[in-house]
Amino acid sequence: MRTAATGKDGGPDYASASLPRHLARGAVGFGSLIGGTGLAFTVGPVALLLLPVGLVALRGCPVCWTIGLVQTVSRGRLRRSCENGRCTLTVPARPS
């Protein structure tokens, strides 16, 4: 399984470059997983070839994709800062 890239704060980064790109990856990933399992009964084992496509599109698992969705949406809206062993989330000031 692929490991996540490291973000600026040293934690894992599952976010995509843009929200439409992330949603497209989700549609391909979930569609492939559902199609692969659903069509396996009618088409046969060949339909199971869609499962690896779904896992690659979701970067390993549906939970990884969901975490990436939250990171993609919140990117640029929240700032994490850690001082003296205490971490806080703040909303950066927007230019007027």
19-63 pLDDT, tens per residue? Answer: 899 999 999 999 999 999 999 999 988 999 999 999 999 988 899
**Is 76 inside any structural domain?**
yes
**Is 96 inside any structural domain?**
no
**Is 27 inside any structural domain?**
yes
Q: What is the Cα–Cα distance from 6 to 28, expressed in whole angstroms? A: 24
What does the pLDDT look like over 68-95, one tens digit per residue? 999 888 876 777 788 888 888 777 776 6
**Is 51 inside any structural domain?**
yes
User: 66 pLDDT band (50/70/90 cuts)?
Assistant: very high
Name the residue among 8, 27, 5 with its Cα closest to residue 16. 5
**Is 11 inside any structural domain?**
yes
Domain of residue 19, residue span = 5-90
**Is 85 inside any structural domain?**
yes
Neighbours of 68 (CB within 10 A): 21
Geometric angle at alpha carbon 95, from 90 and 96, rounded to 5°: 125
N- to C-terminal Cα separation, the chain:
44
Total domains in the chain come to 1
Residue with tokens 């990117």: 75
pTM of the entire structure? Answer: 0.68
**Is 95 inside any structural domain?**
no
**Is 26 inside any structural domain?**
yes
| pLDDT (0 to 100) of residue 26 | 95
Q: 75, 15 in Cβ contact below 8 A?
A: yes
96 or 33, greater pLDDT: 33
